Amino acid sequence: MTASDAQTLLDRVREALADATPLPPSEIRAESELVGELGLSSLELVMLFGRLEAAFGVRFGEDDLTGIRTVEDVVMLIRRLQR
């Protein structure tokens, strides 16, 4: 994956998060915590991961989501599942 592809992936994840939060994509950083900083509830996280599965053509297993805390964690998981 090129740096451009990685940035595009991050941008697409930010867009999905902006749909789930009141924040614009420009305020969502790779280091942003999904629950603590972005304020997502467990139900909102389930809905977000469903949208991300559809958008990226991946399937998240329960084990995959353990330890996911930040936007960058989500991006890295999607990259791994797309290989």
pLDDT digits (tens, 9 = 90+) for 41-67: 999 999 999 999 999 999 999 899 989
b or e along 16-40 (b: 16 or more beta carbons within 10 Å of the residue's beta carbon)?
bbbebbeeebeebeeebebeebbeb
pTM: predicted TM-score of the whole model, two decimal places: 0.89
> Which residues constitute the domain of residue 42?
3-82
Cα Rg of the chain (Å, integer)? 12
pLDDT reported for residue 14: 96
CATH code for the domain in which residue 33 is found: 1.10.1200.10
The DSSP line for the chain is: --HHHHHHHHHHHHHHHHHHSSS-GGG--TT-BTTTTT---HHHHHHHHHHHHHHHT----HHHHTT--BHHHHHHHHHHHH-
* Domains of the chain: total: 1
